Amino acid sequence: MNAEIKRGSLEMIAAMLISGSIGWFVLMSGQPVINVVFWRCAIGALVLLAVCAALGQLRPGMLTRATLLLAIAGGVALVLNWLLLFAAYSYASISIATAVYNTQPFMLVGLGALFLGEKLTARKLLWLALAFAGVLMVVLAQPRQAGGQHNYLVGIGLSLGAAFFYALMALAAKRLKGTPPHLIALIQVTVGTVMLLPLVNFHAPTSTGQWGMLVTVGVLHTGLMYVLMYGALQKLPTNLIGSLSFIYPIAAMLVDRLAFGHRLVALQLAGAAIILLAAAGMNLLGERRLAPTPGGKQAPEQ
């Protein structure tokens, strides 16, 4: 393994471990989901602004009007994705929300077939059917406690909605090839800041510890995570990126188990494993890469 591949692998592993821990910070912040996403965007924007300035990506003429509009549209989809995913944690647990959220490659396949004329091959349909079976298994493993069934299904629905909006964001990203990825990330979180500003409850009680959680989500899980992830994407081959991206759901499930004691029942565990297996097959064995970043490589997102 050469030095560049080794460094890129370490950056990708760090980025995925950071992503896998975000659910704990979101829940421990004790804030409404809108507040969490707003502060993630606002604080993350400051970090990414400094990064883009240091990389010389704020020069005039870096973006065309069409590119800017597409980046803004992708930003709206990304923010809706975060809102739904973070809301799902409180209903279906971090583990289940993360597993169901990993149906996003299949959402992208469907959107690609509808809007980009991409061919639905037999192999893609096989992985899609397998993922659907995994989701059905997760849905059937409903909790027995009173009121649990409704909340559980709401959580799964929110996770599926988050995956759909992530796929929309990835579809927009496919049109932004050649645009600096850190600049696109800055546009996206700036869009989120403006978009959520009228909805934020600035009077919500917030302790020093809770502010610490929000700042961490903005600095660590947004600013630093983007820098690490995009640094890795520039150094690694696509197959290695796809392989390392599965550290994220595994890390999220471990955090959920260790921090909150959530143990998946056998049917949930089997369903989650099947979803991840199908997503791995689609990403690593499919004929074409599904969600290239503006730099042309596949990017996991959280």
Q: Which amino acid is at 293?
A: T
Q: Please give the pLDDT value at position 294.
A: 41
Q: Output the 3-class SS for 167-210.
A: HHHHHHHCCCCCCCHHHHHHHHHHHHHHHHHHHCCCCCCCCHHH
CA distances from 276 to 55, 102, 134, 214, 280 (A): 36, 7, 9, 29, 6
Q: Please give the pLDDT value at position 146.
A: 45
Question: What is the token pair recorded at 43?
Answer: 């604080």
Q: Please give the pLDDT value at position 302.
A: 60
Residues, the chain, total? 302
Q: List the alpha helices (DSSP H) in 102-180.
A: 104-115, 122-140, 148-173
Cα Rg of the chain, angstroms: 19
Q: Please give the pLDDT value at position 282.
A: 78
Mean pLDDT, consecutive 10-residue segments, the chain of 302 residues?
A: 86 94 96 97 96 92 91 95 96 92 86 80 87 89 64 93 92 83 93 97 94 97 92 81 85 93 88 90 59 44 57
Interatomic CA distance for residues 286 and 302, integer angstroms: 22
Closest CA to 296 of 176, 171, 167, 117: 176
Q: Please give the pLDDT value at position 191.
A: 97
Cα dihedral sign, 143-148-153-157? negative
Interatomic CA distance for residues 76 and 160, integer angstroms: 17
